[in-house]
Structure 1
Amino acid sequence: MAVVSSISGPIVKARLKDETPALFELSYVGRDGLIGEVVDIYGDEVVIQVYESTEGLTLRENVVFSGEMLSAILGPGLLGGILDGIQRPLPDLDFHIKKGVKPFPLNREKRWHFKPYLKSGDIIQEGTVIGEVKEGSFVHRIISDIEGKISFIAGEGEYTVEETVLKTEEGEEIKLYRKHPVRISRKFKKRKAPEIPLITGQRIIDFLFPIAKGGTGSIPGGFGTGKTVLQQTLARWSDADIIVYIGCGERGNEMTEVLTEFSRLKDPKSERPLMERTVLIANTSDMPVSAREASIFMGITIAEYYRDMGYHVALMADSTSRWAEAMREISARMKHLPVEEGFPSDLSSKIASIYERAGFVQTLSGTEGSLTIIGAVSPPGGDFSEPVTRHTRRFTSVFWALDRELAGARFYPAINYIMSYSSYPQNVSRWWKNISPEYDELREWMIYILQEDDKLQRIVKLLGMEALPEEQKLVVETAGLIKEVFLQQNAFDPVDAYSSPERQIKMAQFLKTMWEFWKKAHTEKAIPVSVLKKQEVITEFIRSKYSIKNDQLEKYDDLIRKLAESYRNLIATYGE
């Protein structure tokens, strides 16, 4: 027990009476029982970060310590849920949270069909799968977090999440749900190299700047560059089994749009509602700032829970800048010494603590699962040198830099193909080579053309295209087709919204074959680029991004054959 001695927004100081709490212990502040967390202890005084509005709180009100850390409630019923930053179910509260309300995040009344895998007398260890529950289209594996000899295990049947389904001779129990502290990562056997790409269907990502399952990525971009749309696109089309989407400090109307959009979207693979494989955590800008920090750790803990079942989970955080701004405000109220741009001195380690929990792992149960973390960053004025973007760049292996000029030109995804990079091409190369042995060669060629074009664009902007010699015009025109047909993608077109890896390879093969014929035509007959690009087959290829579906790849083979025939005839007859 303690009493409130100081109030500064979400930061409350309390003088201890008869007990000393632990750091990060959950606490209940004042007559309303506001939910908070101990963040500092010195002498007989503690500092509590309150996750709710402290309006109306007065001095000398009581503070009660719970004896446990802020924890996630994990069990059947999470999928499809819409939660706030400390896991209160928003639909149950009509999206209006009253002070001190602490509803259970799972449905206590619903009965789940439990199917046991073991029997009495079996020995269980931490990580043993004791049974399963069907959760929508997913198998929800119930995994032991204790050790011992089974004295009782429930038979196949219907149970609520709070009913005991297993007991050990040592007296320990397992229910269909469990708790796990959000600041402590869940255990696994070992971390493995991320070598399988997370396929998103976005050509500029999958082909040029891939992210591996279990990897980390960041999406920095100024206002209006399409961060939220890109994350929603990744959530819909990526081949992750489970999506955890965290709206951290975003505007309420933007988060409402996300909730509305996700509710009516269908999973393109199963044709079932996308929400069946999604957990949404909404912590909008009008909610208490302190809950923003908790929301990301809450989302990661939920994601790790499904990873431990052997699923591939993708977590989208939008945006970590708002999360960092909340830390800056809290740090200022705690009178900590600020560093660059007012951020706390531990900003770097806080950002690292998020991304280090990603990974491709062998779970305690022996299966393989992954957690991929992709964070959006909103640098003020699009300044990528500001602290949050700079430190995020240090701890993520993929950097998809969104460009205001590209967005202004309606080029989507507005990923700057010169500033962006990925550390995973070598990791995922073997996977891509199973589709086409040419992957490395095609990717390196495309990056070379785009880089050369970037150098030449400065001359084009100053002097015009006519100032370039024909060899350089070949590069610029080829890069133009790469940008228009390959990199640019319409998220609202039924054909172009998603491009399979096989289709991406076919498109790249066409472009490289075209480049080789253009070079040959220029070398042998000095055919000008203006003639080369006017061949009918080029127009057909441009239209193909909207007409050739992922299951019609033979049409690309026909286009490549037509391309070869067209340019052989042109080279043979030009000038006659």
Structure 2
Amino acid sequence: MSKHGQIVKIAGPLVVASGMQDANMFDVVRVGKQRLIGEVIEMRGDRASIQVYEETAGITPGDEVETTGAPLSVELAPGLITTIYDGIQRPLEAIRKVSGNSLQRGVEVPAVDHNKKWSFLPTAKTGDRVVAGDVLGTVDETIVVKHKVMVPNGVEGEIVEIREGEYTVDDMIAVVRLPDGSEKELSMLQRWPVRVERPYEKKLPPDIPMITGQRTIDTFFPIAKGGTAAIPGPFGSGKTVTQHQLAKWSDVDIVVYIGCGERGNEMTDVLREFPELIDPRTGESLMQRTVLIANTSDMPVAAREASVYTGITIAEYYRDMGYAVAVIADSTSRWAEALREMSGRLEEMPGEEGYPAYLGSRLAQFYERAGRVICKGSDHREAALAAIGAVSPPGGDISEPVSQATLRIVKVFWGLDSALAYSRHFPAINWLNSYSLYFDRLQSWYDDNVGTDFISNRHRAMSLLQQESELKEIVKLVGIDSLSPADRLVMETSQMIREDFLQQNAMSDTDSYCPIDKQYRLLAIILHYHELAEKALGQGAKMNAVFSIAARDRIGRAKDVPTGEYQTVFADIDREMAGELEAAVGGAAK
């Protein structure tokens, strides 16, 4: 039953109401005559501090506050995919139809369409014993996503009735007799509080890579399925492009993209581009497996704080169906700024740079909901949820609190470098600053599925790049001509690794995505050149002859070879390279 209180104080998005003794922490409330949506974030006696998720202009002391008695929750049902929500799961397209292009405050629109009928096909039958997480049946949510309707958490018993046909999300589709003899009607709709992690049976080790088709990521700094990663970088360094590439090419079934406090024009680009992008896995629009959470910087700051919880709860729901899911949050810095503002209005003791002292624990709560798991249910489905967060440190300074708190939690760090971006090296991931802590876990997968020398080749390439960085300092002082032939070779090979391997053209049809086997063979050719050239120089070949062989040009163009042809072309390049270097040794002997 709803309870009422009265506003006694207003401070921006923070409202204090008295007479709220029947409210609980994190209850959703309706504020004022316009029934603005808010959430209780602090209780002191009968006074509740409420963060309001809409503009509070026009609200005055004495206005009524009504609590719903339920925490902030999301609706989970068919219809989530392809929808664009704001930070508290209000469907923006449906709101536009109600209020026009200028969004009005207090608009109440359900998160999913409660009138649309879905074709429900049962997979369970009358007499089956079911537990929480078991699949009752399926719905074709989009042309590429089969939505699995599951038994809600806390329900267990025997199916006494299950129906096939066209139903809305509220209609009864099954009846389960509970252990106490009572019967419970089930529909396709579930509600789940966003701040509570959805349960699973067991967490599995992160020992399968999430293949993205991006060479810098897959070969040098891989992320596991169910892993966590951060993409810090200054303005203009390519965070958004990198995230678009991950959304488009990663081998996941569902993408949840959270635009958390980003500029409106950046989110507009996402909203325009994603429906037009063709999903390479299905040939359909990328939106057919995507949920977008759009909470831009001009929207109320309080809703920004809720947006990441909304997004990851939706992602957990699809993970529970047995899907591999990726949550991409852009950016957690804006989310942390929302925490800082609300903490300041609550007059809490500030931490470093004004951020709340609990910043690290809140970030951890978000990233720790990722993982590869055995889902609830009798069939023990295996699924994964990866969490990738962009960080926007002011001026690109990653020593600031949000970046440092994030780095203590995540296992992969893709550090974007503005100098690389300005030199048109994309993706602008700095290979000397970035890291991945998943190599030990992923070693056996790479050995079994790619090549036993995949990891060792990566380490050799990294060693050459680090040597190049040291040699560049010497070259600045004394010039490149003072280097020995062996050091000159390190510089040449490192340049090939940077330009012919790490650089990738997101606008190219052939280079935008690179299969893992092609990555392996391309890097192997470059390292094979280094080995043969080192041997040739040791046998007296001249540097110019070794560095100017025609095969090097072919290696430079190798990444643009179509997927179906690269094995033959790479083998030809390898033979040509060996012959030319052998000729260079012979020429020196003469």
Q: TM-score range by the shorter chain?
A: over 0.9
Residues 28, 39 of structure 2: 8 Å contact kept: yes
Residues 499, 550 of structure 1: 8 Å contact kept: no
Q: Secondary structure at the match of 1:188?
A: coil
Deviation at 1:226, TM superposition (A): 0.5
**Structure 1: segments with no counterpart, 5+ residues:** none
Q: How does 1:213-224 map to 2 (within 5 A)?
A: 213-224=225-236
Deviation at 1:128, TM superposition (A): 1.4
Q: Secondary structure at the match of 2:566?
A: coil
Amino acid at match of 1:420: S
User: TM-score with structure 2 length normalisation?
Assistant: 0.95
Amino acid at match of 1:547: V
Moved more, 298-307 or 90-99: 90-99
Residues 215, 514 of structure 2: 8 Å contact kept: yes
Amino acid at match of 1:52: E
Q: Secondary structure at the match of 1:195?
A: coil
Amino acid at match of 1:509: A
Residue-pair matches, total: 574
> Which residue does the alignment assign to 1:518?
533
Instruction: Indicate which of 355, 358, 374 corresponds to 1:362.
Output: 374
Amino acid at match of 1:182: V
Instruction: Indicate which of 15, 33, 41 corresponds to 2:18.
Output: 15
1:466 aligns with 2:478: no
Deviation at 1:118, TM superposition (A): 2.2
Deviation at 1:572, TM superposition (A): 2.6
> Which residue does the alignment assign to 1:112?
118
Q: Secondary structure at the match of 1:395?
A: coil
> Which residue does the alignment assign to 1:425?
439
> Which residue does the alignment assign to 1:348?
360
> Which residue does the alignment assign to 1:477?
492
> Which residue does the alignment assign to 2:401?
387
Q: Distance in 2 between matches of 1:147 and 1:290?
A: 34
Amino acid at match of 2:145: F
- Cα deviation per residue 1:110-165 (whole Å; 9 max; x = unaligned)? 21111112233322211111111111222211111143434543322111111111
> Which residue does the alignment assign to 1:286?
298
> Which residue does the alignment assign to 1:495?
510
Amino acid at match of 1:279: V
Task: Classify 1:290/1:550 alpha carbon distance in 2 versus 1 (closer, same or farther; 3 Å).
Answer: farther
> Which residue does the alignment assign to 1:81?
83
Q: Distance in 1 between matches of 2:172 and 2:498?
A: 58
> Which residue does the alignment assign to 2:350?
338
Q: Distance in 1 between matches of 2:477 and 2:23?
A: 67
Amino acid at match of 1:527: K
> Which residue does the alignment assign to 2:94?
92
Deviation at 1:76, TM superposition (A): 0.6
> Which residue does the alignment assign to 1:103?
109
Residues 363, 406 of structure 2: 8 Å contact kept: yes
Q: Distance in 2 between matches of 1:387 and 1:269?
A: 39
Q: Distance in 1 between matches of 2:576 and 2:156?
A: 69
- Cα deviation per residue 1:364-398 (whole Å; 9 max; x = unaligned)? 12100000000000000110100000000000000
Instruction: Indicate which of 142, 151, 157 corresponds to 1:149.
Output: 157
Moved more, 476-485 or 425-434: 425-434
Q: Distance in 1 between matches of 2:512 and 2:242?
A: 11
> Which residue does the alignment assign to 2:64?
62
Deviation at 1:560, TM superposition (A): 1.1
1:122 aligns with 2:128: yes
Amino acid at match of 1:21: A
Q: Distance in 1 between matches of 2:193 and 2:141?
A: 23
Residues 162, 175 of structure 2: 8 Å contact kept: no
Residues 230, 407 of structure 2: 8 Å contact kept: yes
Residues 116, 153 of structure 1: 8 Å contact kept: no
Amino acid at match of 2:52: V
- Cα deviation per residue 1:3-47 (whole Å; 9 max; x = unaligned)? 001000111100016x42111111111111111111100112111
Amino acid at match of 1:51: Y
Deviation at 1:109, TM superposition (A): 2.2
Q: How does 1:2-41 map to 2 (within 5 A)?
A: 2-16=5-19, 19-41=21-43
Amino acid at match of 1:566: E
Residues 121, 149 of structure 1: 8 Å contact kept: no
Moved more, 488-497 or 436-445: 436-445
- Cα deviation per residue 1:303-353 (whole Å; 9 max; x = unaligned)? 000000110000100000000011111111111121211111111111111
Amino acid at match of 2:374: Q
> Which residue does the alignment assign to 1:447?
462
Q: Secondary structure at the match of 1:256?
A: helix
Q: How does 1:553-572 map to 2 (within 5 A)?
A: 553-572=567-586
Q: Secondary structure at the match of 2:467?
A: helix
1:534 aligns with 2:548: yes
Moved more, 119-128 or 48-57: 119-128
Instruction: Indicate which of 164, 168, 185 corresponds to 1:160.
Output: 168
> Which residue does the alignment assign to 2:139?
133
Amino acid at match of 2:262: E
Moved more, 399-408 or 140-149: 140-149
Amino acid at match of 2:123: Y
Task: Classify 1:204/1:151 alpha carbon distance in 2 versus 1 (closer, same or farther; 3 Å).
Answer: closer
Q: Distance in 1 between matches of 2:93 and 2:573?
A: 52
Q: Distance in 2 between matches of 1:513 and 1:148?
A: 60
Amino acid at match of 1:143: M
> Which residue does the alignment assign to 1:245?
257
User: TM-score with structure 1 length normalisation?
Assistant: 0.98
Residues 90, 96 of structure 1: 8 Å contact kept: no
RMSD of aligned alpha carbons:
1.3
- Cα deviation per residue 1:230-263 (whole Å; 9 max; x = unaligned)? 1011101111110000000011111111110112
Residues 259, 295 of structure 2: 8 Å contact kept: yes
**Structure 2: segments with no counterpart, 5+ residues:** none
Q: Distance in 1 between matches of 2:103 and 2:545?
A: 66
Q: Distance in 1 between matches of 2:156 and 2:231?
A: 46
> Which residue does the alignment assign to 1:375?
389
Residues 36, 51 of structure 1: 8 Å contact kept: yes
Residues 150, 166 of structure 1: 8 Å contact kept: no
Q: How does 1:245-324 map to 2 (within 5 A)?
A: 245-324=257-336
